[in-house]
Amino acid sequence: MRVSFRPARDGFAFTNAFVNQIKIIGLPITETKGRCGGMAFAALDHWHRRLPVPDASTLPADGNPVADYVYDRLITSIMDNWGMYAQFMSTPDHPTTLRGIGVARMTREEQFPKLKQLLDQGLPQPLGLVQSRDPAGFGNDHQVVAYGYEQDATRTRIFIWDNRFRRREDVLEFKTAYDPADRAVRQSNGDEWRGFFVERYSPRVPWYLAGGKLLSDRSDPRIYVVHGGAKFWVTSPQEFDRLGLRWTEVVELPDGSTAYVADRPGDRLLLREIDRPEVYVTYGGYGFHIPDPDTLTRLGFTWSDVRVVPRDSLHALAPVPIEGTVLREEHKDPVYLVSGGALHHVPDPTTFTALGLRWDRVGVVPDGALAKLPMGDRLPTPTCRPGLSYRPVS
């Protein structure tokens, strides 16, 4: 099974090539290879808060708010999970009288069941991957996002987003039952790990993506207002004033920083353009028109939720919802998954569950709103055996 986290949409487009010298009081760490924990935590922050991840593929420089936020989340990921890293470092791979069942069995008998339970709830999880046997080797450990698994009596596979490899899917694989002759956890890129554990994590909102935040690059006169995790260009001083914005609240960033704020908003943003009465709700970066106040109320919104954006902002929205968006119309039962730029009917709850979809992630739109989108073939009902993941044939 897979949850609704997708590396191609929810992972960062740049590779984890950061260089760090770090100081954490009380911990014997001076350097890490990249900011893997920060990227894993930041990607999960975006997913939990339904904020779009920017498509910028160049590594942001230090001083860029994204780079600094990822660094801050790296420190949090280490501090909150150092106890588990230390436990894994000091524990042999095999069972011993003094140190218990060993890392290999801890991974299979304690950590994987915990991960499976959380994934079955539809929640992607940060994983700590351990190679080191002492604090000096901590730089060889790693942090990733797990978003699915498949298991049978022989083999277990975990689907991960590894921030070293942009937005591709990677896999961890190991023997389901403990075998003293084959304890390793192997990754699809060739790496081997002693084991893994589910990390402690709490979602946050990046400060620069807070609703209503005003951002500008230092050498660029353009000013953007942030709503739904996306930037909207305020085209003139007159429009700035008419939107009720304050010049004293504009945050000047290092040049190029605003390129790391998405152009299309996350889900459930209500917006209307200044001087226009029409209200839209966004799902997958696409705007669905809400025809009247009663529909707005039935969909669970209030007028205070509506954000007024600069004129012509709707032109920047997606021509179709992005890959993986799940939708249904208000008074109709069919649920659709966006794939390949078209809607595909999810035929039954079995298929819905096998795809790793969540009911609380289904975007409910006004009746008739889906008629404007291309319609593809119905998804086939899965035929794989229980425990193995299902993906429809493209």
Is residue 384 over pLDDT 70? no
Of 42-46, 96-100, 261-265, where does mean pLDDT reach its minimum? 96-100
Condensed to tens digits (0 to 9), the pLDDT of residues 65-93 reads 999 999 999 999 999 999 999 999 999 88
Cα–Cα distances (Å) from 86 to 35, 62, 76, 130, 193, in that order, read: 19, 29, 16, 10, 15
pLDDT for res 19 = 83
- pLDDT for 29 equals 55
Domains of the chain with CATH codes = 7-198 (no CATH), 321-393 (3.30.2390.20)
The amino acid at residue 172 is L
Note the pLDDT of residue 277. 96
Average pLDDT, stretch 53-74? Answer: 96
**Where is average pLDDT lowest: 86-100, 186-200, 227-241?**
86-100
**192 contacts 170 by C-beta, under 8 angstroms:** no
Q: Please tell me what DSSP assigns to residue 2.
A: B
Mean pLDDT of 193-206: 97
The pLDDT of residue 26: 58
pLDDT for the residue 386:
45
**Residue written as token pair 């920047």:** 316
Q: Kindly tell me if the per-residue pLDDT of 62 is higher than 70.
A: yes
> Taking the mean position of all CA atoms in its chain, how far away is CA 309?
25
pLDDT at 393: 41
Mean pLDDT of 379-387: 64
Q: Write out the two tokens for 67.
A: 């780079």
CA dihedral over 348, 352, 353, 359, signed as positive or negative: negative
Residue 28: per-residue pLDDT: 52
The residue among 259, 220, 320 whose CA lies nearest residue 14 is: 259
Beta-carbon neighbour count of residue 143 at 10 Å?
27
How many angstroms separate the Cα of 184 from the Cα of each of 107, 177, 192, 219, 246?
Answer: 10, 12, 6, 51, 57
Pairing mode, strands 326-329 and 335-339: antiparallel
Identify the weakest region by mean pLDDT among 118-127, 266-275, 355-364.
355-364
Average pLDDT over residues 156-183: 95
Whole-model pTM: value is: 0.90
pLDDT in the model for residue 387: 45
Residue 79's SS3 state is: helix
Q: Could you identify the residue written with the tokens 């080191």? A: 132
User: Lowest-confidence range among 29-38, 65-74, 174-183, 350-359?
Assistant: 29-38
Extended strands (E) in 176-324: 185-187, 192-193, 195-198, 214-217, 223-227, 230-234, 250-253, 269-273, 279-283, 286-290, 307-309
Average pLDDT in the chain: 92
d(CA 163, CA 169): 10
- Residue in the structure block whose two tokens are 């200044």: 274
> Which is more confidently placed, 32 or 90?
90
Dihedrals phi, psi of 167, to nearest 5 degrees: -110, 30
pLDDT in tens, 308-345: 999 999 998 999 999 999 999 999 999 999 999 999 99
pLDDT score at 22: 60
pLDDT level of residue 32 (50, 70, 90 thresholds):
low
Among candidates 146, 107, 45, 113, which has minimal Cα distance to 356? 146
Residue 128 in this model has a pLDDT that exceeds 60: yes
Asked whether 15 and 174 are in contact (CB, 8 A), the reply is no
CA–CA distance, 60 with 66 (Å, rounded to integer): 7
* pLDDT surpassing 80 at residue 214: yes
Are β-strands 214-217 and 250-253 bridged in parallel, bridged antiparallel, or unpaired? parallel
Q: Please say whether the beta carbons of 111 and 103 come within 8 A.
A: no
Q: Which amino acid is at 394?
A: S
**Structural contact between residues 311 and 295, judged by C-beta atoms closer than 8 angstroms:** no
| Range scoring the smallest mean pLDDT among 35-44, 121-130, 141-150, 384-393 | 384-393
Question: What's the one-letter identity of residue 6?
Answer: R
